Structure formats: C-alpha cells, structure tokens
Structure 1
Amino acid sequence: MLQQADLHSTWTMVTDDAGLRAAAESLAAGHGPVGVDAERASGFRYGSEAYLVQAYREDSGTFLFDPTGISSFAPLAQALDGLEWILHAASQDIPCLDELGLHPPLLFDTELAARLLGFERVGLGALVESQLGISLQKAHSAADWSTRPLPESWLEYAALDVALLPDLRESIANELDAQHKREFADEEFEAVRQRAPKPPVEDPWRKVSGGHRLRSPRELAIVRELWLARDELARERDTAPGRLLPDSSIVAAAGAMPRSRGDLARLKTFAGRASRTELDRWWEAALRGKTTDQLPKPRPRDPDAMPHHRGWAQRHPDAAARLSIAREALTAEAEERSIPLENLLTPELLRRVSWAPPKPAKGTSSASAEQISDRLEELGARHWQAVISAPIIAVAFVEAKQS
C-alpha cells in the first residue's frame, strides 16, 4: 500500500486575478477531464462559501485558488467550459462553486458512482485506497479553511485530493462499464448537475434541533426570538451560529421559561461559547418571546398531504400493503443489482406512488407498469430508476390487492 507520505505532489498557489488568468490558460492547454474540489469552513463561518478551490488537469498541473483575493473566476470558467469535471460528492461542492460562477458543463461524481456500484465505503480516502492502492490521511477534511495563511500540510492535502481524481475516475468508470451501469450513472450525474438550488426555508427557526419537543406557542415564540438574535450575531461575527449558542441551549431556555436574567444564567443546560458573554442579548430575546403578542401559529395542514407511513397499517391498510410488498420486492432487486435501495428508488418516491397509485385503465383492476413509470418520473425519478422499478411495483400492487 502506497502511503501519502511517499507521494510528492506539486501545486501552484493562485491568490490574485493575474495568477488566475495564467492558471486558466494552463488548464485550457491540458488534456482530459479536470479534477475539481472545494474546501469550505462549515461549522466555523456563517456561510458555506468556498475558501479554497482546487483544479487539476493532465499536462497542466494542480492549481489552488484562494477566492479571498480573486475578484472574478470568469477566466477559469471559460477555460473549463465544455470539459468534464470530476468531483467527489458533487452535490456538496456545486453550491459554493456556483457562488463563484463555476458550474460543471459535464460531471463525473466518483462518490455517487461508487454508490451505484454497491461499494460499502464511498469516502474519497476509502475509494483511493481500494481503487488506486494509496492510503490518504484525511486529517484536514473538517478544518477551518478560512484560516489564513493556510498551513502547508493543509495545502498538500488539498492538492493531492484533486490530483488523484482523474485516475480514480478512470478506475470507477471501468467498473461502471463492467457492471453495465454507465447509463445509470450518467443520468444521476446530470440530475445532480442540473439540480435547482433549494428554495429559502420558511420560518427557518422551526428547524431548531429538538424543537419538536416544544408544543406551546409561547415556547415557540422564545425559540424564534433566540434564533433570530443568534442569527443576527452570527452574521455580524461571520461565525457559525451553533458555535455561539447551540440549538440545545435555545430549546432548553424555551422549555425552562426563565423569569429573569439570573434564571437564564443559572440554567446549566444553557451553554455555548457566547452563552454568558452575550447573556444580555439572549435574555432580551427570551423576554421578547415571553411577552410578544405575535405568537407563532401552527403550520397549516395540507388536507391533501400524505400522512406519515407509520400510521398506514391502522388507518390506510391498502396503502400499507402496497408499500410493504413493493418495498420487499425492490429490496431484493437492489441486492441483486448491488445498488443501495435508496439509489434504486428513494423511499419517498416509493411511499408517494404507494399512497396514490395511478388510476387503472378502463377494464383493468391495477395500474400498469407504464402508468407507474410515468408517475415515478413525474415525481422526480430518473428514467433508469423508473424503467427498473415500475414493473416490480406493478406486480407488487397486484399482490397487495389480492392479499
């Protein structure tokens, strides 16, 4: 096994627009696909922007771009236009690359491909070890990449990651061909590449971890005011909100309903880096929640919404039978194809088509495979998923009707 210490990668650090233009020219003159990666400071900074972008192409070399000193990535985007970009877990990096004006025109996702191949371990380090025989040290994957200057060992880590992507891509692509899954992978890659950004969350404070345990509108009002106060401070300091005050402290304060600033200070479960240094801020927020007339209203229920599947057996036995039999059949198919069930067809899509299957054609008692395939694609399934899953689901629904 080749160790990371035995590898000697070289790279060019790019910190300004002139350096980016030179790097773009070099990458444009290279050969083959380009390996791309990005490092963020998740858990340290308020946003999720990239603090380092890496690119490698054969006959061009490895370039590490520092976005903090670069005004425009347009020359790089132009140089890489029309090329296949190799990323690992692309859905994590594409949003921060998009913010820089960088978006893959073609995509090969090594992590997603490995899942379709049925590999048990799909992390970059595990894949590089199993496919290339190289043992990587992943010590800096969760580092604060907003640190300046970046340590040499971090840069070495970042450069080596991206430089190995083309070889890893070739190995995995060969395995996709051997398992006759290349078309599946291409559809999945394109779906990731074209995936629309998530819309802003309405009332994001409702996403506080553990908040589901709070029921009263007054408790929820305290959660809302503490969340808003924390978010404002996090923006000001460019710090991850949870590093200032964890969600657990917000929930604890709302549940305790403190009567005074001192009560809040004495609450042992109210912890966090800024729990005491910003105590006045938190108490003022809690007090607003305790006294406001603008109490949060329960989320309106959609009368047409699908109920939680755990209650189907008692209240909707027909749907429960369809779901159970179809899930068992799809699980067997997934095992036969060495594809994780969630990649063959997501549980959400299976639940939706089981809850509301297409209406059978006149003269028939159950929906056909073609009808189910169309419904699955309407719901967001890829074509290859629908082609494989629909006939299995159609048979399962017939069995459920007969049971």
Structure 2
Amino acid sequence: MVDAHSPSEPRSIAITYRVIDTAEDFLVACRALAAADGPVAVDVERASGFRYSSRAYLIQVFRRGAGVFLFDAPAIEDFSPLMDAIGDAEWVFHAATQDLPSLREIDLVPQRIFDTELSARLLGWPGVGLGAVVERTLGIVLKKEHSAADWSTRPLPQAWLEYAALDVEHLLDVRDVISEELEQTGKAEWATEEFADELHRAPKPAPAEPWRKLNGLHKIRGRRGMAIARAFWTSRDELARSTDTAPGRLVPDRALVAAVAANPKTKAELGALREFTGRASRSELNRWWQAFVDGRADTDIPLERVPSDALPPVRAWAGRRPEADARLKAARPAIEAHAEFLSMPTENLLTPEHLRRVCWSPPEPATADAVGRALTALGARSWQVAQTAPLIERAFVQATQSAGEGLESA
C-alpha cells in the first residue's frame, strides 16, 4: 500500500511498498479505492515458469486519488469488496489477455477495459512493451529486470514490489496520451471493438490430447514411441500438478523427448542418459522408468498423427488447391499494403488465419458482403470486415481473371 501521489512527479524520498495480505488492510484499501473515481490501472503477477497453475500471486491496482495497492492474491479469500469498489470503472491493462484469465479465476471481472499494448499495435508503434510505451508517451524509463521473477516467493523483495507498483503507477497517464492519439488517427472506435473482443472472447477449449503439445514430439518415431511419450507426459503432469511445479522445471520437454527417443532398456540406462536433465530427472527416476514400462505395455496405442481441421501448409496449396493458392497470393499483398497504409501490423488489421480460411473455402458468390459474413463467423470485428472485405473481393476477381488468361494463353 502506498499513499496517493502523482506518478509523474519526481520522488524526493524512497518509497517503501507493502503487500496487503490481511482482511482488515484489504477492506481499508477497498474503501480508499471506492472513495476515488475515474479509471483504475490493473496488473497481475504470476509464477507460470515456476508453478503449475497460472493463478495470480500479486495484483496491483492504482487509482488517482487513492494510490497504488499491492494485493497478495493467495492470502485474500474473497475479492468481492474490490469488485464493489472498482467494478463499474474502466480497467486499464497493458496486454489484457495475459491478465484477464487469472483475474476471472478469483471473480475479478471488469465491465469495460482499455488495453495500452493493443492500442500501441493499432497505432503502429515499433515498440509495444510496457517499457517502450511508457518511454514514448511519458519520457520515463522503467526497469524491467523482474518480469520473469517467481512471484510466488514470500516475502517479496522490496525491489520486486517497486517494479510491480511501477507497472500500474504510470498506466493511467499512458492511457490518456494513447486515447488522444487514437482519436486523432480515427482509430478510437476500432480500439473499442478490440477491447470488447478481448474482454468477452471465449477461452480456447482444452485440447483432447494435451500431451501432443509436447515440444519436439515430431522427433519421436512410431506409435509405440508415442505411447511412451504420452505415459511420460502424463506422469510428469500428475507430479507437477500435485507439487504445484511447472512441468518443465521437473523435466524439460527436450529431456523428456530425448529420453523417449533413446529408448533405454533399463532404469539404469535411463538414469545414465546425459540428455535426461531437470530437477526431478534423478530424484523421481522410479516414476519415469514406470512411465516407460506403462507406455510399452499400453494396448491403447495412439496414432502418430490425428485428424485435424487445420489448413494445409501454404507451401502445399499450389499442388493441392491451386485456385485457393491464387486467391491467397492476390489477397495477402492487398491486405499487407492496406495495413501499411493504416500504419498497423497486418495481423491486427486481419488475423492471417481468417484470411487463409476465406481463401481456402470462399463463399459463393464471393461478394464483399459474403466475404464479410464469412470473416465475421470466423471472429473478425466489424471494423476489420469493413476495411478488408472489399479488398478480398477485388483480389478474388483478380485471381479468377488471371487464371482465365492463363488458360487462354495455354
């Protein structure tokens, strides 16, 4: 907890930050936040590289007239008083999609948001990290040396707390500068649509076979090898979950894959593998060897590759569906050129996968309205549809004409 002050004013004395971890202090902070008004800056610190879960370990909140508050998320059982204090205000984030899931887990759900990182992308700024955005808008240089820290650590060092506080103390001033530039460039309504999409976007469904996300799985040959990899991954995941440890800290993916590929014949051979590393590679050797035993005995052998609705690689389109390849080769440069004209990354103008989907299976007839409906069904926002559907229609006509001319010359 820190008293209210203007974050843009230079500090004459060192500030000591304190983590709020009691019910009494939490309610005092909520009353202070409720007594102030205006938007609130919010940030979340997790320990994803150290812990199994992506839960919030520290929540930072800043509001003008109230100050900055650092909440120890695991120590606070009920966050409803904080929702009551700030729930109907605009919540300002930098990269909201990173923080919203862990906030939802503890029932902290904003009604409306402003995302400074996404806004910087829409404005075409070359640097969109928090440090770059703060420096560009306010001329303040932030230190970012604790971004990958283990935020489950207790007590948290004072240097870490200062870093966490600075993540929100300047954010409202940044928001004001960016909001003005969005208005000046005619992108304010686009940003509002993007913020609403971020806030209400449904989470991706969990994969049916999460073990197939194992990095380096393509190096394993044969269905029996896949069965062993699945057993190994499952055993590691169970241990990681039970100990709340990031799986990669127990045995990194590369070590797991190397062990399966080496196909050791005994537990001693497994333990002797130089590539088999990780903090639990030897202390849990019995567990890992049992995974080999189970995988080799499993009668439910997985397929090496499973059916997918993913599109073929673009490099294969010319041979498999040349007309789709022609459409993409005509449409993609048009989208890229328009993104450059609008001063924003192409992927923010239109998600590349959406363009590929429409080129692979276009509506019939492929009018701008029909293309727009197809893009909307894929998840494109209305401003994206308005900017890109006519371009795609013209590109498809161009591709068809070029194909006809090619046939005539043949």
The normalised TM-score by structure 1 is 0.94
Aligned-pair CA distance for 1:21: 1.8
Task: Give the match's secondary structure for 1:265.
Answer: helix
Contact 1:42 1:240 in 2 (8 A): yes
Contact 2:17 2:158 in 1 (8 A): no
Q: What are the within-5 Å matches in structure 2 for residues 150-165 of structure 1?
A: 150-165=156-171
The percent of aligned pairs where both chains have the same amino acid is 53
Residue number among 58, 71, 79 corresponding to 2:64 in the alignment: 58
Contact 1:32 1:57 in 2 (8 A): yes
**Residue 336 of structure 2 corresponds to which residue in structure 1?**
331
Q: What are the within-5 Å matches in structure 2 for residues 347-362 of structure 1?
A: 347-360=352-365
**Residue 401 of structure 2 corresponds to which residue in structure 1?**
402
Q: What are the within-5 Å matches in structure 2 for residues 360-399 of structure 1?
A: 360=365, 367-399=366-398
Question: 2: CA distance between counterparts of 1:290 and 1:331?
Answer: 50
Aligned-pair CA distance for 1:390: 0.2
Task: Give the match's secondary structure for 1:396.
Answer: helix
**CA-atom RMSD in angstroms:** 1.7
1:255 and 2:254 are equivalent in the alignment:
no
Query: What letter matches 1:385 in structure 2?
Result: Q
1:139 and 2:149 are equivalent in the alignment:
no
1:98 and 2:97 are equivalent in the alignment:
no
Query: What letter matches 1:394 in structure 2?
Result: E
Q: What are the within-5 Å matches in structure 2 for residues 2-401 of structure 1?
A: 13-301=19-307, 306-360=311-365, 367-401=366-400
Contact 1:10 1:159 in 2 (8 A): no
1:166-193 CA-partner distances (Å, limit 9, x unpaired):
0000011111111110011000000000
**Residue 363 of structure 1 corresponds to which residue in structure 2?**
none
Question: 2: CA distance between counterparts of 1:283 and 1:56?
Answer: 50
Query: What letter matches 2:233 in structure 1?
Result: W
Query: What letter matches 2:77 in structure 1?
Result: S
Moved more, 305-314 or 5-14: 5-14
Aligned-pair CA distance for 1:3: 12
Contact 1:9 1:160 in 2 (8 A): no
Aligned-pair CA distance for 1:305: 5.8
**1:5/1:142 Cα in 2 relative to 1: closer, same or farther (>3 Å)?**
farther
Tell me, which stretches of 5 or more residues in structure 1 are unaligned? 361-366
Aligned-pair CA distance for 1:299: 5.0
Moved more, 305-314 or 76-85: 305-314
Question: 2: CA distance between counterparts of 1:9 and 1:153?
Answer: 11
Question: 1: CA distance between counterparts of 2:332 and 2:148?
Answer: 36
Question: 2: CA distance between counterparts of 1:188 and 1:123?
Answer: 18
Question: 1: CA distance between counterparts of 2:362 and 2:90?
Answer: 39
Question: 2: CA distance between counterparts of 1:54 and 1:346?
Answer: 31
Question: 2: CA distance between counterparts of 1:155 and 1:116?
Answer: 31
Question: 1: CA distance between counterparts of 2:65 and 2:310?
Answer: 55
Aligned-pair CA distance for 1:49: 0.3
Query: What letter matches 1:329 in structure 2?
Result: A
**1:44/1:6 Cα in 2 relative to 1: closer, same or farther (>3 Å)?**
farther
The count of residues paired between Structure 1 and Structure 2 equals 395
Task: Give the match's secondary structure for 1:20.
Answer: helix
Contact 2:222 2:304 in 1 (8 A): no
Contact 2:44 2:58 in 1 (8 A): yes
Moved more, 306-315 or 92-101: 306-315
Aligned-pair CA distance for 1:5: 8.4
**1:62/1:3 Cα in 2 relative to 1: closer, same or farther (>3 Å)?**
closer
Question: 2: CA distance between counterparts of 1:79 and 1:3?
Answer: 26
Task: Give the match's secondary structure for 1:56.
Answer: strand
Question: 2: CA distance between counterparts of 1:281 and 1:109?
Answer: 45
1:51-101 CA-partner distances (Å, limit 9, x unpaired):
000101010111110012111001101111210000000000000111111
Moved more, 344-353 or 192-201: 192-201
Aligned-pair CA distance for 1:370: 1.1
Query: What letter matches 2:388 in structure 1?
Result: S
Contact 1:20 1:73 in 2 (8 A): no
Aligned-pair CA distance for 1:229: 1.1
Task: Give the match's secondary structure for 1:62.
Answer: strand
The normalised TM-score by structure 2 is 0.93
Question: 1: CA distance between counterparts of 2:211 and 2:313?
Answer: 23
